[in-house]
Amino acid sequence: MFIAKKLKKENICEYLLYMWQVENLIRAFKLDMEHIDQQIIAQYPVSEPEKKEMYQWYESLIEMMRMEDKQESGHIQLNTNIIIELNDFHFQLIKSGKEPSYNSKFYHVLPFINQLKQKQENNHLSDIETCFNFQYGIMMLKMKKHEISQETLDAQLEISKYMVLLARNYNRYQEGELEFED
C-alpha cells in the first residue's frame, strides 16, 4: 500500500504494474485475508496504525476482486480505469504534437506493439494495454527465471523507454506543466 501510494505519484506505469502484482499476490493467497495478514502485513516494518491501514487496503482490494468476479484472473476496474486514462492521455499527447520525442518514440516502438498484437488471441487491446501486458509478462518470466530471447529483451527495453516517456509526460500533465488546447 505504501509502495503503491508512492508509485502512483511518481510513475503511473510502475504503479499499475505493481498493482497487477498485488492482484496476483492476493490470488496466490486465495483471497484469504488471514494469510495476507500473517505473511505480508505482520512482516511489514511499520507502526500498528499503519498495519491497520494496510489491512483495510488489502481487504478493500479483495472485496473489489470478489464484487467484480476477478478472483481467478483479470484486473479490477480501479486498475482498468488507469489503462483507459493512460490510453486517452496517449491519444491527446500524440494528437497535440507537443512532445515530439514522445511521438517519435511511440512510432519507433509501434512495430513491436503490432507484432505483439499479432501474437495475441485478444489482439483488440489498445497499444497502451498491449505494452503493459508485455512488460508484465516479461517481469513474470524473469521472476520464474525463464530464458528470454535477446530479440524479446531488446523489444522490452525499447517499450520500457517508451513507457518512461508516457509516465513522465503523464506526471507533467497531472501537475499542470503540460496542457492541451481544447
DSSP three-state, residue 125: coil
Q: What is the CA radius of gyration of the chain?
A: 18
What is the reported pLDDT for 182?
58
Taking the whole predicted model, whether its pTM rises above 0.85 is answered as yes
Region label for 97, one of left (φ > 0), alpha (ψ between -120 and 50) or beta (otherwise): left
CA distances from 36 to 33, 80, 81, 134, 165 (A): 5, 23, 25, 28, 34
User: pLDDT by residue (tens digit) across 29-60?
Assistant: 999 999 999 999 999 999 999 999 999 999 99
